[in-house]
Amino acid sequence: MTSNARSLPSLSPNVSSSSPGAPDAAAGSGVSAPVPGVAASAASHADLGALTPKIEVTALDFYYDAAHVLHDIHMRIPERLVTAFIGPSGCGKSTFLRTLNRMNDIIPGARVAGTVEIDGIDIYGREIDVVDLRRRIGMVFQKSNPFPKSVYDNVAYGPRINGMVTSRGQLDEIVESSLHAAALWDEVKDRLQASALALSGGQQQRLCIARALAVKPEIVLMDEPASALDPIATQRIEELVHQLKRDYTIVIVTHNMQQAARISDFTAFFWLGRLVEFDRTERIFTAPGEQLTEDYVTGRFG
């Protein structure tokens, strides 16, 4: 984040700042800036350049019963990079994240319209096996949720139930490599049979990341994975995210704008259920195309 953002001109020629579609609630939000355009077309133009989109969201609307909480979202999320979702509480970040692996399906009254394509296949299509989808798209939550089992059994759980291994040796290998990938191996290698609940909060969160990685996902969704952790444990998670993008597409929700600026390549700013702006992180924090984004990232509201 920079303090000179306000003095920079808008560098975003393909983002309309006068398009219609801003929500009425802007008037009551305490935002004094002109109401920006938040139409879908304004938000969907992050230039991925030569990057390959892993996830492509088109015209996505989402409802909890009668409550319309996501409006016409368009977004292309690049492969093997980190994409951060930022925005004020209640703006729909978690809901949108959950639409990417159909975790909302289990919420009664939840309804989604539009498409979410992963590698060009609509995950809401009839032929989709949701269990396999969630194996391919892992999720890590704000509050770490290890099973009340041993460290080993937490990581081994997914490979076991997905029938991914035929021998104990294979399972041992997956457990070890997943714990390495989650930067936890050295801390737990001598107590694999100890209860996961005896680990520290930061270790438990990395264990949950190891558990997510053990089923060999392509995408890892993280919903504020470090918000309950102290600064040192947070830093370890941030370093880990940075390493993981070599192998995985990462999408991370964070309330912490410095964290988004540090760890992500692309940032999406949501507001009142709309995607206001999606662009390279550097641009979002130094020269956003929308006044509302600038007001948010410079701390004028939040």
Ligand X SMILES: Nc1ncnc2c1ncn2[C@@H]1O[C@H](COP(=O)(O)OP(=O)(O)OP(=O)(O)O)[C@@H](O)[C@H]1O
Q: Alpha-carbon distance 175 to 149, whole Å? A: 14
β-bridge partners, 67: 64
Q: Which does 183 bind (CB under 5 to 8 A by kind): ligand X, Mg ion, none?
A: none
101 makes contact with ligand X (CB under 6 A): no
CB of 107 to ligand X, least distance (A): 5
Contact between 87 and 296 under an 8 Å Cβ cutoff? The reply is yes
CB of 226 to Mg ion, least distance (A): 14
In 163-291 the beta strands, taken as DSSP E runs, fall at: 219-223, 249-253, 266-271, 274-280
Nearer to Mg ion, 94 or 293 (CB): 94
Q: Alpha-carbon distance 112 to 104, whole Å? A: 9
Q: Which does 3 bind (CB under 5 to 8 A by kind): ligand X, Mg ion, none?
A: none
Amino acid at 14: N
259 makes contact with ligand X (CB under 6 A): no
CB of 72 to ligand X, least distance (A): 15
CB of 108 to ligand X, least distance (A): 9
Tokens 């399972």, residue?
Answer: 171
Contacts (CB under 5 A) with Mg ion, residues 83-112: 94
Tokens 């979702």, residue?
Answer: 85
Q: Alpha-carbon distance 115 to 43, whole Å? A: 16
Q: Which of 3, 89, 166, 167 touches ligand X (CB under 6 A)?
A: 89
The DSSP element (H or E) to which 206 belongs, if any, is helix 201-214
Contacts (CB under 6 A) with ligand X, residues 223-252: none
Residue nearest to Mg ion (CB): 94
Nearer to ligand X, 94 or 203 (CB): 94
Give how many residues touch ligand X by CB under 6 A.
13
β-bridge partners, 302: none
Q: Tell me the CA distances in angstroms from 100 to 112, 135, 233, one per residue in order.
A: 11, 12, 27
Tokens 């006068």, residue?
Answer: 18
Local structure of 214: helix, strand or coil: helix
Structure tokens at 233: 């444990």
Of 48-56, 91-99, 155-163, 209-217, the window that binds ligand X (rule: CB under 6 A) is: 91-99
Nearer to ligand X, 93 or 236 (CB): 93
Contacts (CB under 6 A) with ligand X, residues 42-81: 64, 67, 69
CB of 292 to Mg ion, least distance (A): 19
Nearer to ligand X, 182 or 272 (CB): 272
Q: Site residues (CB under 6 A) for ligand X?
A: 64, 67, 69, 87, 89-95, 107, 255
Q: Site residues (CB under 5 A) for Mg ion?
A: 94
